[in-house]
Chains A and B, each alone.
Chain A
Amino acid sequence: MLKPPRLTDTTLRDGSHAMRHQFTRQQVRSVVEALDRAGVPVLEVTHGDGLAGSSIQYGFSRTSEMDLIEEARNAVTRSRIAALLLPGIGTRKELKEAGARGIQVVRIATQCTEADISQQHFGMAKDMGLEAIGFLMMSHMRPPEFLAEQALLMESYGADCVYVVDSAGALLPDGAAARVRALKQALKIQVGFHAHNNLGLGIGNTLAAVEAGADQVDGCLRGLGAGAGNAATELIAAALDKLGLNPGVDVFALLNAAEFVVAPFMPFQPIPDRDSIAIGYAGVYSTFLLHAKRLGKQYDVDPLEILVELGRRKAVAGQEDWILDVTLELAKQKQTSTQEAIPS
């Protein structure tokens, strides 16, 4: 018997990528109020790359994430506020401050092979009385059994749930389901699934994960997120409702929130276009999209080539600096081959 999964909305975290980290207090407040009213139980608010992500590497936040967290916390009546933390970028120092500003849930994300760098952060999160969720990023890069072992490490550090995170939007429904199933079999705690829509499978993979037993799933209003965006929160709600698995949310309220609150301030509608599909196909981190587009334009290199090369080099979450590296090399190659083509 399937039960309705818990729905987490991450418009105000994953959406930060598409917004180039320019969220304002007013936008955060209006989105949080709408989601809270619609009954979404957990709302994630952080820089796209997690606490302390504001940087040259990932882009500076317009408004401090701590101020946005506080704004969100002050705007809710029943939803709980979550933050993302990537060890190696954010530290316990920022976790402590986020706690003081009002988060009740922290999601601790590592590359899916590196769960053992998260022990000190889970330890602190539990000491702070937070709900602590593990996030195994770029899950397409390893088979189900391997992921289950990494998830077990997070469980041993005190995680309350571990997510299979398809950061590259590279999984197909059977791959998403197999990974969720492997974690469900191995763990005593809950299992979640986070989708990206690069191959147009954001909703499909989310439903496959739910059928495989996922206890928690993520969405963003209008799919506002990195790459081709995430599974849209309002779509997940509508689909689950039709499956008889409504997670306790008001579907029409979410449709309104997507249409009238989020859509008006979106700089563009993330869709599986040429470069986003390339991300899913090549299996690279979804947030590379806008960086590759910007550098491609600057150095006259096709972003698709940049993204495919990054996939070939097995770049992982957070390696935005490699985009510059690869772009410069491709630009150099292009120059050399043009010169060679001119007869001397």
Chain B
Amino acid sequence: MNATTNHTVKVAILGSGNIGSDLMFKILRDPGHMELALLAGIEPQSEGLARARDLGINASHAGIQAILDDPNIRIVFDATSAYAHVRHAKLLKETGRIAIDLTPAARGPYVIPPVNLGAHLAETNVNLITCGGQATIPLVYAVSRVTPVPYAEMVSTIASLSAGPGTRQNIDEFTFTTARGLEVIGGAQQGKAIIILNPADPPIMMRNTIYALLDSEEVDEQAIVDSIEEMVVSVQAYVPGYRLKNPPVFEKRATPEGKRTLVAILLEVTGAGDYLPPYAGNLDIMTASARQVGELFACQLLEQR
């Protein structure tokens, strides 16, 4: 082993589309303890593969096989499709690689870096839920760690141009998966997700609104605000464009279960513009989270050596 491999872990990206390309730029810009060894796609004429080669990155159109052929690759980001990931997950597990899944396949546990990644660093496959989930679950968690949240709802509005065919043809899956994430990781007893595509030109920044209904009428508003602000800072560490548009709003709302305290959190995510345009904050937060998860796995692998 040469000196660099003692300090870095070889990683590969599977999928040479928009997400794979943006992730490539993020890892190249800030590699941390990762060395991007390969970008693998399946289209020989893929622009993404050509772009990688121009940047001096090894690129292959042999798909998963190119990764299986290189035993030094320890971590694999899968930015293909849920359908493809089911097959990839099996092959990667059999060959002892860690899979970071950006598709909705969910073969492994859901992870949100600042919330629960620490608990899953022994897993061999983790899933990043959805873009809206990465944006909103941390804030639901920030509320539920202070006071019980019987019901949380998120509304994600993204620019039409940033919604690819995968999202468009599977919009129900976004709703189901995100709502489940609000419950399992966000800590809400019941979660609900709504997604809206806005075609305005120039495109709008990704906007998310989080509503949490609280159990009691008497709540420590300051403790909730502090927890939310702390969480925003934690997410900003890997998604710089993550910010509250306004301070959290508290009000009393009539619900089917009676009058409850509602906290509304208005969030905007501006993309870093690594490869995708800044309005595509929804895609940026996925690739930024993926990079963060990869970095934490890489550090752990190095510690184990």
A residues bordering B, Cβ < 8 Å?
52, 55-57, 60-62, 87-89, 91-93, 111, 113-114, 116-117, 119-121, 141, 298, 313-319, 321-322, 324-325, 328-329
Contact = CB atoms under 8 A, between A and B. Distances in A.
B1 interface: no
Given A55-B153, A56-B153, A89 B194 contact: yes
B209 A87 contact: no
Interface stretch (B11-19, B82-90, B248-256, B281-289): B248-256
Nearest to A54: B256
Nearest to A314: B200
Interface residues of B, number: 36
B245 A111 contact: no
Given A57-B209, A325-B266, A117 B249 contact: no
Nearest to B170: A120
15 contacts: A55-B194, A60-B255, A88-B171, A88-B175, A88-B196, A88-B197, A89-B194, A93-B172, A113-B160, A117-B168, A141-B199, A316-B198, A321-B209, A325-B266, A328-B246
A57 B199 contact: no
B249 A87 contact: no
Given A114-B199, A316-B198, A324-B249, A57 B211 contact: yes
B250 to A, nearest CB: 12
B195 interface: yes
B172 A91 contact: yes
Interface string B170-198: 11100110000000000000001011111
Contacts of A314: 198-200, 204
B117 interface: no
A324 B264 CA distance: 9
A56 B254 CA distance: 10
B188 to A, nearest CB: 12
A117 B171 contact: yes
Contacts of A321: 155, 157, 207, 209, 264, 266
Given A111-B197, A318-B196, A91 B157 contact: no
A324 B251 CA distance: 12
**B-side interface mostly:** strand
* A-B pairs, 6 with minimum CB distance: A321-B209, A314-B200, A113-B199, A91-B172, A56-B211, A88-B195
A217 B183 CA distance: 42
A52 B168 CA distance: 19
Contacts of B262: 56
Nearest to B192: A55
Contacts of B153: 55-57
A321 B157 CA distance: 10
A113 B197 CA distance: 9
B169 interface: yes
Given A56-B253, A316-B198, A325 B246 contact: yes
B199 A111 contact: yes
Nearest to B264: A324
Contacts of B160: 113-114
Most buried by A among B172, B194, B211, B213: B194
Contacts of B213: 56
A89 B172 CA distance: 9
A325 B194 contact: no
Given A120-B169, A328-B249, 11 more contacts: A91-B175, A91-B176, A116-B165, A119-B168, A119-B169, A141-B199, A314-B200, A316-B200, A319-B157, A321-B155, A325-B266
Of B168, B172, B251, chain A has the most CB atoms within 10 Å of the CB of B172
Contacts of B199: 111, 113-114, 141, 314, 316
B194 A322 contact: no
A325 B267 CA distance: 10
Contacts of B194: 55, 57, 88-89, 318
A57 B155 contact: yes
A120 B174 CA distance: 13
B169 A316 contact: no
Contacts of B207: 321-322, 325
Interface in B151-166: 153, 155, 157, 160, 165
Nearest to A63: B256
A325 B248 CA distance: 11
B245 A325 contact: yes
Nearest to B202: A314
A52 B171 CA distance: 14
A109 to B, nearest CB: 12
A117 B200 CA distance: 17
B189 to A, nearest CB: 15
Interface string B199-242: 11000100101010100000000000000000000000000000
B169 A324 contact: no
A319 B175 contact: no
Contacts of B168: 114, 116-117, 119
B239 to A, nearest CB: 20
Contacts of A88: 171, 175, 194-197
B305 to A, nearest CB: 46
Highest count of chain A CB atoms <10 Å: which of B170, B196, B254: B196
A327 to B, nearest CB: 10
Contacts of A55: 153, 192, 194
A252 to B, nearest CB: 39
B22 to A, nearest CB: 22
Contacts of A57: 153, 155, 194, 209, 211
